[in-house]
Structure formats: structure tokens, C-alpha cells
Copies of this chain bind each other. A is one copy, B any other.
Amino acid sequence: MKTNSESFHSILNNVAKHITLTAAEKKFFCSLLRVKKLRKRQYLLQAGDVSRFEQFINTGALRAYYLDEKGHERIVQFGLEGWWIGDMASFFSGLPATLTIEAMEESELFQIERNDFDVLLDKVPKFERFFRILLSNAHIAHQRRLVSHLTGSAQERYLELLAKYPAFEQRIPLRHIASYLGVTPEFLSRMRKRLTKKK
């Protein structure tokens, strides 16, 4: 665990988006965090294990996916610097996780453990609000994504994704983007070709 306060800059900024903390509260919050480093391809969480942590991504890139019956990965979320990632269901319920989370690049995370989380909410109730907003945002994001699957074509979804996160195109391998969009790598490859031709 680091004590260098500078390193928590990013997570404090993130929290400050929704609630305002005193200096003492910031210090307390940071004291509950632990730093976790992951190598490329390393698991943060495997389906079946209980997720004891929620985490904030300081640097790096991760992906969270389900495995379907045929063993295919279905990516439900990417995570980059400044995002929270975890299996909230498992974290809150204590039941085994259904998601697997894996680093796509070398990454550095800040983790908060389940017990410390309860302590935090107890001592600084503002965090109730913070995490409810986080959960509610995640909920809305899923709802929107579901609708874009009900409504639009794969190409529309791909363009939406690129518009929202232009960095993805360079940074995230094709097959992972395909899995996120719900198409085969072959089809995404063709789509890209079609799109570059049109220019």
C-alpha cells in the first residue's frame, strides 16, 4: 500500500465529480485503498470466485466478460483509466461472481475491500450517495446499450462506440471490440474495410 498522496490524485478527482470531501475525509478514504498491479492477461477476478473488492483504474485497460455455454467470451464492459470496474453483484451479495475480469494491458488499480467499504459508508455517509450514483449510472449505461442492441445495426453500434471512445480503435484488439459489439471478428473486419472505403 502506498502512502504517497500524489498517487491518489485521479481517484479523488473522480469522487469529487459527485461529492465534496474535507481534507480529513480524503485522507481517511485514501487510507482504505490498496494498490493492485496487474500484468497483461492477468486475471483480476474469475467467475466463480467471490469479488471482495471494487476497484478504480488508475492506469491501464481491462475487460469484463461472461463465458457462455459454448465457452465464448461475451464482453460486457471495458475499463480504462478513471473508470470503476468490478462485479458489483458479487461484491454486495457475497455470492460467487459471474463475471471474469482480465487486464488487457499492464494496469494499476486502487481497491477497496468489502469490510472497509462498509466502514467508509458508516463514517462518511456522503459515500452512500456516491456509490448509488455509480450503480445507477452503470444501470443506465446497460439500459442504453440494451436498447442500441434492440434498435440498431452492428455498424451503428460500432460508430457510436468510436464516437464515444475514439481511443478504442487503436488500443483495443479487434476481436475484443467484436465481442463487445456482439459480432464475429470476421464481420467487424469487413465492416472496417467498408467504412474506410467510404471516405
A interface with B by C-beta (< 8 Å): 66, 68, 72, 74, 76, 88-89, 92-93, 98, 128, 132-133, 135-136, 138-140, 142-143, 145-147, 149-151, 179, 182
Q: Are B74 and A136 in contact (CB under 8 A)?
A: no
Residue of B nearest to A132 (CB): B92
Q: How many subunits of this chain does the assembly comprise?
A: 2
CA distance A133 to B147 in the complex (A): 23
**A to B CB contacts below 8 Å, 7 in the list:** A76-B147, A89-B140, A92-B133, A135-B136, A142-B142, A142-B146, A150-B179
Residue in B135, B140, B146, B179 whose beta carbon sits within 8 Å of that of A146 in the complex: B146
CA distance A98 to B139 in the complex (A): 13
Q: How far is the CB of A74 from chain B (nearest CB, A)?
A: 5
- On chain B, the residues within 8 Å of A92 by CB distance are 132-133, 136
Q: How far is the CB of A132 from chain B (nearest CB, A)?
A: 7
User: Dominant SS at the A interface?
Assistant: helix
CA distance A93 to B135 in the complex (A): 12
Q: How far is the CB of A142 from chain B (nearest CB, A)?
A: 4
Can you name 7 extra interface pairs (CB under 8 A) apart from A74-B151, A76-B147? Answer: A76-B143, A76-B146, A88-B136, A93-B136, A139-B139, A142-B146, A146-B149
CA distance A182 to B148 in the complex (A): 10
Residue in B98, B132, B133, B139 whose beta carbon sits within 8 Å of that of A142 in the complex: B139
- Which of A88, A98, A147, A150 neighbours the largest number of chain B CB atoms within 10 Å of its CB? A150
- On chain B, the residues within 8 Å of A142 by CB distance are 139, 142-143, 146
CA distance A133 to B68 in the complex (A): 25
- On chain B, the residues within 8 Å of A135 by CB distance are 132, 135-136, 139
